[in-house]
């Protein structure tokens, strides 16, 4: 397996194993979320840079679930033409594109129009000055349905697949975590009950998009918080989703409060490169059948090739390196560093 050999994710054929990891554009129509011309041009540029697969920036499944006023969202069929053009801008370069679907939960700016801070339990974030609203049983059912409908719209718009955002402390991550999920009903109380939400989201999406449409997930390996998601719980989520038919698992870690620790900011600054979740990927890889994508801290061709050669992962995710150089995959293919 080499970096420039194809990667199969469900029925997606990526020409190489480099994945442009989800990167929020913060460029959607203000207070609405519909993709703009600027975003369509951005995806054409990234796709032309030779990457195997693009994951879009996180896209809210409802207007209330956006994190900020310029976040992308896909809660209306009216946005189908814009999303279709976005998908086509990538595919015109032979680059498949997957839309990342999210709900911000409590990690949102509640001062922005239409945004409603919600959480499985009313637990205030360390750096926030507001208390999120505890989700009612009917809100939970509605949000599951929002995820399913958004996935259906992505399929209609021609995206090659969708990715569930179950990382970085947003709503699904909040359900998975004992820190923010203190419920005692069907959705909380034990690790099995906490992961019932992502299972329900996956099932509802699958019902909407059919058996063959690729559904991927970005999953935290840990919350890096004493009360949050543990490595064992993360592994159990990966195994459950793998058994349910997830097309690929991308690994990340951390929640708003712990991102600087999870993303090893200090070490990265000193060394220039550090693979954040290599140890965790090695533990998870043998436990699942679907492709594993490892993202975080990877900056060089040599490291990307090493991770694949050692069988740590099947695909390598890049965010910041490609923000700086969207054509990095083409450069690496030509042997440039």
Catalytic residues: 170
- Shortest distance in whole angstroms from residue 285 CB to ligand FMN: 18
Contact residues for ligand FMN, defined by CB under 6 A: 21-24, 57-58, 100, 165, 167-168, 218, 252, 295-298, 318-321
Whole-angstrom Cα distance, residue 240 to residue 245?
Answer: 9
Residue 132 per-residue DSSP state: P
Measure the CA–CA gap between 163 and 100, rounded to whole angstroms: 4
Q: How far is the CB of 244 from ligand FMN (least distance, A)?
A: 20
185/265 with CB nearer ligand FMN: 265
Of 144 and 318, which has the nearer Cβ to ligand FMN?
A: 318
Shortest Å, Cβ 327 to ligand FMN: 16
Judged by beta carbon, residue 19 or residue 144, the one nearer ligand FMN is 19
**Smallest distance, Å, CB 119 to ligand FMN?**
19
* 8 A C-beta contact, residue 161 and residue 213: yes
At 295, list the tokens. 């993202």
CB 28 within 8 A of CB 43: no
Residue 24 CA: distances (Å) to CA of 36, 41, 45: 13, 15, 15
Q: Which is nearer to ligand FMN, 26 or 336 (CB)?
A: 26
Helix ranges restricted to H, 114-210: 137-156, 171-176, 191-194, 196-209
């Amino acid at each position: 397996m080499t970096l420039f050999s194809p990667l199969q994710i469900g029925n997606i054929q990526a020409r190489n194993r480099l994945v442009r990891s989800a990167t929020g554009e913060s460029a959607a129509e203000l207070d609405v979320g519909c993709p703009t011309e600027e975003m369509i041009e951005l995806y054409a540029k990234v796709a032309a840079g030779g990457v195997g697969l693009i994951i879009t920036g996180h896209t809210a499944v409802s207007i209330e679930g956006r994190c900020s006023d310029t976040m992308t969202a896909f809660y209306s069929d009216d946005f189908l033409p814009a999303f279709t053009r976005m998908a086509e801008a990538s595919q015109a370069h032979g680059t498949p594109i997957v839309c990342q679907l999210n709900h911000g939960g409590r990690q949102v700016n509640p001062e922005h129009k239409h945004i409603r801070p919600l959480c499985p339990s009313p637990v205030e974030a360390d750096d926030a000055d507001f208390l999120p609203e505890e989700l009612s049983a009917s809100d939970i059912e509605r949000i599951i349905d929002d995820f399913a409908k958004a996935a259906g719209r992505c399929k209609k718009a021609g995206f090659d697949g969708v990715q569930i955002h179950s990382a970085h402390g947003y709503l699904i991550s909040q359900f998975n975590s004992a820190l923010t999920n203190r419920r005692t009903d069907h959705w909380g109380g034990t690790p099995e009950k906490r992961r019932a939400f992502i299972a329900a989201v996956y099932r509802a999406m699958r019902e909407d998009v059919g058996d063959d449409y690729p559904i991927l997930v970005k999953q935290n390996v840990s919350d890096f918080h004493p009360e949050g998601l543990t490595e064992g719980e993360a592994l159990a989520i990966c195994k459950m989703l793998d058994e349910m038919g997830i097309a690929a698992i991308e690994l990340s870690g951390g929640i708003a409060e712990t991102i600087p620790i999870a993303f090893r900011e200090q070490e990265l600054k000193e060394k220039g490169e550090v693979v954040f979740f290599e140890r965790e990927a090695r533990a998870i890889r043998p436990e699942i059948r679907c492709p594993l994508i490892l993202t975080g801290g990877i900056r060089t061709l040599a490291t990307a090739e090493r991770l694949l050669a050692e069988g740590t992962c099947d695909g390598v995710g890049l965010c910041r390196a490609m923000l700086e150089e969207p054509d990095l995959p083409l450069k690496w293919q030509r042997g440039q560093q």
